[in-house]
Amino acid sequence: MTKWLGVRAAWLLVTLFCMFFGSSLIAETGASSGDFLKISAYSRGMAMGGAWVAVAEGTGALYYNPAGIGRKGVGELSVSHSELLQDLKLENFSIAYPLRNGSGVGLGVSYLGYGSIAGYDVSGNATGDVSAYSLLLAVGFSQRVSSNLSVGVVIKPVFERLGGYSAHTVTTDIGLIADLGQFSFGAQVVNWGGSVKFIDDKISLPTAFRVGIAYRTLGASSVVSLGGSRDSEGLYALSSGIEYHYSQNLTLRTGYSSTLQNQSNAGDGISFGVGLNMQSIGVDYSYCPSGSLDGVHQITASYRFGR
């Protein structure tokens, strides 16, 4: 009886969350800035097509669903490197640590360097190269509110700089995960609130609402997941992913993501990845399509502690 009541309570909270935040986002359509916030900073999630809202755990939960920060039950430290196009590179350092009673805390730093950008004055004369970068801090907390349900929040200060101009703001992610046996359900609001202002232009961040479902199979070692999202520009997308533990040391992943409207999206297409696990150390590689570009390569090295 207690377990049944917990399941019904989890379902009720998930439904209320989706109704409240989903309807809020529908009213917030419009242009957005801070597109670097859409880039994944964790290889497992990227390899599974981004369908990680119901799977999120450890440091990856800082970017896919903060409710999963303490879900793994062990601490994790991760470092990621992403090769984008030309000189663009994304670097990330994150740490997540579980506390008592199923709660957890996490901290992450992401830095996107744009390389050297040629500068020109209003007459078109070269003025020399200028530097540009984007910086994200992520401070997260999760709490298990029942045996089936966890909630979490991430506060994200964002800093952007282009030459002599800079902008900064603070935005928030909110999420929940309901674990119901082999199934798990997740919902997340990404980049809620905040806007950046360069000179006289003030633009909101790329807000989105995401939901997901995952099923753990083969002794709960492998995962099949599905996800859906709606962003503040009114675009709907679906994603799916599979994580298959081939052996104790080798994990294979693949995923697919697609925007439903007839509009090209850089992240649409098939992604894949592989993970190597050596006791407390893991190395994960992922490849994600990027429109007509060569795609995004990402590698994440992680260390698990506190078992």
| Residue 295: CATH number of its domain | 2.40.160.60
User: Cα–chain-centroid distance for residue 108?
Assistant: 12
In whole angstroms, give the CA distance from residue 149 to residue 131: 45
SS3 289: coil
pLDDT number for residue 20? 43
Q: Contact, 83 vs 296, CB < 8 A?
A: yes
CA distance 48 to 32: 25
* 306 Cβ contact list (under 8 Å, min separation 6): 74, 75, 97, 98
- Predicted local confidence at residue 259, as pLDDT: 86
0.85 exceeded by the pTM?
Answer: no
**The one-letter amino acid at 18:** C
Residue 126: HSE in the Cβ half-sphere, 13 Å Cα cutoff: 4
User: How far apart are alpha carbons 162 and 198 in whole angstroms?
Assistant: 9
- Tell me the C-alpha distance between 277 and 251, whole Å: 8
Which domain does 8 fall in, by range?
Answer: 2-305
Gap between the Cα atoms of 101 and 144, Å rounded: 7
For each of the chain's 307 residues, which pLDDT tens digit applies?
A: 444 444 454 454 455 445 444 444 444 444 445 677 888 889 999 999 999 999 999 999 999 999 999 988 899 999 999 887 767 888 999 999 999 888 999 999 999 887 666 655 556 666 666 677 889 999 999 999 988 899 999 999 998 887 777 788 999 999 999 999 899 999 999 999 877 776 667 777 889 999 999 999 987 789 999 999 998 888 899 999 999 999 989 999 999 998 887 655 656 789 999 999 998 999 999 998 765 456 789 999 999 997 6
Residues 208/229, Cβ–Cβ less than 8 Å = yes
Q: What is the pLDDT of residue 37?
A: 81
Beta bridge partners of 250: 276
Number of domains in the chain: 1
